[in-house]
Structure 1
Amino acid sequence: MGPTPAREQRTAILISSPFLMTREEFAAKISELVPTIEAGLEQWALPQCEPIANLDDGVRYALGLDVKEPTHRGKRLRPALAILTCEALGGQTSQALPFAIGVELMHNYFLVHDDIEDGDTMRHGRPSVWKQFGVANAINIGDYLYGRVVPVVLRSLELGADSTVVLRLLTLLAETFDHTARGQALDMNARSSLDLTVERYLATVTEKTGHYLAAPLIGGAILAGADNSLVDDIRAYGSLLGPMYQIVDDLIDLTENKGRGERGADIAEGKRSFMVAFALSRLDRSSRQELLAILDCPRDQTSPDEVARAIGLLEQCGAIACARQTVRDLAERALRLVQTMPHRLSQLLVGLTNFLETRTR
């Protein structure tokens, strides 16, 4: 069977593009910025007074500043995107750093609270914050991380940023927080759904992940003085990348375990993924009821055999294959959008698209 017209079109886009950046080149750019980002976290994110047990150490733990092993901390993707976007449009690293650190703090706030809400005991290959410090302390650690966002972003003023620009950045983060929290509520509500559709799933993850992933790009563009038209184009690109990122995340959970301790953690959690939404419309009644029974079983009572059976049902109805194709389709649409953007930004976003489409953690 030959390549589909869509795949041929995508290949043509990539081969003819002067902006092509490989996954490896993009990953190298992220890695180069990690020391700068972590120095910023050390300087601005941590308490600058007498240490308090179960707070200072918890903040360092949540941010992965207590270890050198990169698999025990985040990829620093979002802060790097803010810096790289700003640089691609003519700005400076130092100009974008406070906003980038603010984005990373908000990201880790969400992770700490998300693990509590989902009951996840592992994060980045080690105990999650609530598992290590207890639920009450973890809530406080997450709250502290979020409370640092505004003071850190305000440091942009000390570096010469216009107050109007800083207000736009803070408004962007507030709107992102609103969308993400609403998306998380939709996601949690869907966990008891018996008739979730693919369309509802995509609307949920666009709300939960799309704005969240676009915000660093938009903020970096604002700092570099981008006009509203370009900001709108970046926002449209992010609205495609968010669902793509989440579906890849769903797929990784079935194959790589995402550093959460076990393969299929989303199934044990009862999460309604893209594959589940697809399967609910394709499986026969008996198989559908079997899948829902596994998903709705309490997490600590779901056996590895039941998780494996659920994965088998998803494979059987074509849900996993459909998820992979949907990721490719979203990536193709995103790549078409970036072709009209400024040269260096296009190069960056092609690399980002390739990186997210093929990531394994």
Structure 2
Amino acid sequence: MEYINDITINEGIIHILDNNADEPILNEYLLDMNDDIYKFLLKHVQKILRDEELKYAIFKENRNIVKDLSQEYLNGNDNLLNISKELSNQMFTLMRSNGNILSCDLLIVSISTEYGPMLGIMKMDYIKNYVHNVDYKEGKIGINIITQFTGLPGSGQKIQKAAFIKPMRDDNKFDLMVLDKKKKSKDNEEYGSNYFINNYLGCELIDNERDKTKNFLNAAEKWTRNNLSENADVAENVRSTIKKKLKDEESIDINDISHELFQQQGVKENFTQYLKESGVENNINIDKEWVEKKLKRVRLKIDKDIDLYVNEETYNDNTRFEIKRNGDGTINMVIKHVSNYIEK
């Protein structure tokens, strides 16, 4: 996967899309990129591009307003002010046709990265803020707390829907990166739909190396929980072998690893069949950067009543942490040479 680390924000603009209004409030000026605003935007962009739910996508073949406008800008045929208005009008039209889509500010940014330029679209859903209100009654001061529903997500909060679009070229693996989180709510069904991907962006999601690696590890873990819940010895061997393969190899063949893990033919077939039914391909190119981050720390839930967090180095250091096999399907986990501990 293309992990973007070098980000420069070139320009940005924000428009107000209130589904209680008859039309959007469209900005006529680009944002003033002072230090505070730049840092605010940069933190949101970084957080989105590092989010594990960020997906690759390709635009559909049919004509699409977002595709056409983004390419006009990225190819230098129009400016951000003009295309951002049209992008906002398109979103507002969807909002008016679907009353469940939350009001928002639509933030459009142009960024430069180590992989080239991108156009970012971020749907900044309003959040509830509480502020004080001062009234003067009969010469006395009265202070109340009131709610406001026009606050933007802070730099420490997550945006639910965003897209970062690349210039379309013949050798591209993908056209855009998409974040489309679906938030369940009893009062609002907006996040149960795919309007952002299907109706607004007009794109199709495709799996990347991180998705495939993550899917393989999750499917293998689910199979292990379902089939080896009463055999900690074998379960530990399965987990350790898979993690070692992910660390050491560039790719994994599920038939090969099944043959390495199990002796009984029926178990091998059951394991590989489960992975395939879970959408795992026969051969997976491993996302090494995701594996490095994912396996940095091991969390163990032991017999439903013990939680243990161990970093990878300690887990693999027999002088500090050791797995002892008892020969009856159980194992002992031994923490050694403890010189200090605290309670939390």
TM-score category of the 2 structures, normalised to the smaller one: under 0.3
TM-score of the superposition, structure 2-length normalised? 0.26
- Give the strand-richer structure, 1 or 2: 2
User: Which has the larger Rg?
Assistant: 2
TM-score (norm: length of structure 1): 0.25
Higher RCO (C-alpha 8 Å, min separation 6): 1
